[in-house]
């Protein structure tokens, strides 16, 4: 990611607004500094490990080798610039938040990008790999990808939810043992809808079995009423009985003592730990707070703070993921799942989310009236 900004300087591009050389310098150097602080990215001899923020071969591709991480050296192309170049003479500048819309429709990749909630993330329904690729469903098929909460990959044969680690996915099973997630998205499109940011939602279909249809709506956060929440709505139509599991963001799953986050019974506590009820679950740790809540009364819901298997997440060797479980009777009637997904990362690496986040947790996202009409409730 740093190499792009270095190449921009090396090519001496005439920068478009709102970019300045100070902004470009800040983008490149802040990223390098962040990586320099990731102890797991380096072997004891100082060479790069294979993985992301720690050694993890589950996320790699067949073409990876010990030399792969050294693409990072491209970031240092700026060292070829003379000291007089404006990249070096400019003072570092902060990210230009005020010049960039908080939510933006990205037409061609079929993404809704947003910076609301203290992190940048996309809602996605239009991308998938045209050929078989390792962990393709995790890398391309999730509903959301965040710059703060790394995505997770399956480490087994999709036999337990802990090893599937389906963050930002709807996992389905007809035997409560083997789980399927979205791999092949069909009929993905933007659709105009009143009452949502930028006036657009993402709507798509996917078919985990020939006799099962899942229609998915992705709705961006509302900056005025619920900036830390985005909405996911699924219509599941099936002639077979199904178990469903909707995952939120995955987060660092350890407490200050490095043990697993403890379950707390107090819904009004901001202390590190996890909370579960019938229709909502959340987890708070040094990396922030994440949660998921059902926004539609549905029979048979159960919310859990799922402790995923080790080495499933890109950034956290041990992660926890708020998840909502449900069942479909298989009688042919539609099962509507409406969930709000909450996320607030910490500003630093150890202090957790800012105090007062519980008030934002209580400011639940509202289901747009146009969507209520479709649902019929």
Residue 242 contacts residue 173 (beta carbons within 8 Å)? yes
In this structure, are strands 335-345 and 273-276 parallel, antiparallel, or unpaired? unpaired
Tokens of 112: 């809704």
Instruction: Clarify whether residues 169 and 51 are in a common domain.
Output: no
Instruction: Clarify whether residues 209 and 333 are in a common domain.
Output: yes
* Last-in-domain residue among 65, 97, 129: 97
Instruction: Point out the residues of the chain with pLDDT beneath 70.
Output: 158, 349
Instruction: Clarify whether residues 90 and 105 are in a common domain.
Output: no
Instruction: Clarify whether residues 205 and 302 are in a common domain.
Output: yes
Residue 194, C-beta contacts closer than 8 angstroms, at least 6 positions apart? 368, 369, 370
Instruction: Clarify whether residues 31 and 106 are in a common domain.
Output: no
Of 365, 349, 368, 354, give the one whose Cα is nearest residue 195. 368
Tokens of 31: 């990223």
Q: Give the domain range for residue 368.
A: 101-375
Instruction: Clarify whether residues 214 and 274 are in a common domain.
Output: yes
Task: Please state the domain count of the chain.
Answer: 2
Instruction: Clarify whether residues 244 and 356 are in a common domain.
Output: yes
* Last-in-domain residue among 35, 70, 97: 97
Domain CATH code at residue 266: 2.70.98
Residue 233 contacts residue 371 (beta carbons within 8 Å)? yes
Instruction: Clarify whether residues 85 and 151 are in a common domain.
Output: no
Q: What is the torsion angle, in degrees rounded to the nearest 10, for the CA atoms of residue 205, residue 208, residue 214 and residue 216?
A: -60
Strand partners, 51: 55
pLDDT per position as a tens digit, 254-275: 999 999 999 998 999 999 999 9
Say what the pLDDT of residue 377 is: 73
Instruction: Clarify whether residues 89 and 145 are in a common domain.
Output: no
Tokens of 154: 């399956």
Residue 319 contacts residue 313 (beta carbons within 8 Å)? yes
E strands within the chain?
103-106, 111-114, 121-124, 144-146, 170-173, 186-192, 200-209, 212-219, 229-238, 242-247, 251-252, 273-276, 280-285, 288-294, 302-307, 319-328, 335-345
pLDDT per position as a tens digit, 48-66: 999 999 999 998 888 888 8
Residue 125 contacts residue 200 (beta carbons within 8 Å)? no
Say what the pLDDT of residue 188 is: 95
pLDDT per position as a tens digit, 8-64: 999 999 999 899 999 999 999 999 999 999 989 999 999 999 999 999 999 888 888
Say what the pLDDT of residue 349 is: 66
Instruction: Clarify whether residues 84 and 105 are in a common domain.
Output: no
Residue entry with tokens 């933006």: 104
As a three-state string, the secondary structure of 70-107 is HHHHHHHHHHHCCCCCHHHHCCCCCCCHHHCCCEEEEC
E strands within 182-271?
186-192, 200-209, 212-219, 229-238, 242-247, 251-252
């Amino acid at each position: 990611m740093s190499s792009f900004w270095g190449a921009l300087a090396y090519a001496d591009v005439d920068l478009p607004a709102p970019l300045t050389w100070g902004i470009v310098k800040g983008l490149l150097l802040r990223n390098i500094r962040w990586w320099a602080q990731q102890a797991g990215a380096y072997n004891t001899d100082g060479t790069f490990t294979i993985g992301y923020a720690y050694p993890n071969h589950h996320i790699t591709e067949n073409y990876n080798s010990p030399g792969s991480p050294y693409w990072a050296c491209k970031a240092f192309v700026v060292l070829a610039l003379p000291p007089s170049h404006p990249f070096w003479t400019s003072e570092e500048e902060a990210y230009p938040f005020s010049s960039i819309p908080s939510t933006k429709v990205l037409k061609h990749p079929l993404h809704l990008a947003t910076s609301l909630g203290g992190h940048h993330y996309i809602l996605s329904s239009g991308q998938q790999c045209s050929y078989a690729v390792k962990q393709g469903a995790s890398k391309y098929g999730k509903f959301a990808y965040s710059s703060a909460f790394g995505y997770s990959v399956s480490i087994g044969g999709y036999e337990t939810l802990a090893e599937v680690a389906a963050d930002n996915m709807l996992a389905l099973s007809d035997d409560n043992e083997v789980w399927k997630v979205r791999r092949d998205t069909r009929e993905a499109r933007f659709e105009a809808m009143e009452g949502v940011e930028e006036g657009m939602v993402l709507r798509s279909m996917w078919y985990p079995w020939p006799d099962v249809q899942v229609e998915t709506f992705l709705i961006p956060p509302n900056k005025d009423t619920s900036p830390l929440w985005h909405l996911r709505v699924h219509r599941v139509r099936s002639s077979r009985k199904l178990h469903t599991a909707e995952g939120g963001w995955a987060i660092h799953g350890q407490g200050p003592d490095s043990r697993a986050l403890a379950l707390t019974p107090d819904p009004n506590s901001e202390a590190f730990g996890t909370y579960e009820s019938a229709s909502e679950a959340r987890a708070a740790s040094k990396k922030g707070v994440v949660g998921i809540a059902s926004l539609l009364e549905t029979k048979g819901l159960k919310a859990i703070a799922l402790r995923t298997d080790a080495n499933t997440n890109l950034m956290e060797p041990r992660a926890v993921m708020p998840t909502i479980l449900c069942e479909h009777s298989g009688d042919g009637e539609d099962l509507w799942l409406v969930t709000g997904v909450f996320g607030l990362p910490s500003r630093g690496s150890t202090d957790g989310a800012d105090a007062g986040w519980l008030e934002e947790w209580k400011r639940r996202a509202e289901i747009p009236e146009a969507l209520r009409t479709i649902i019929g409730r």
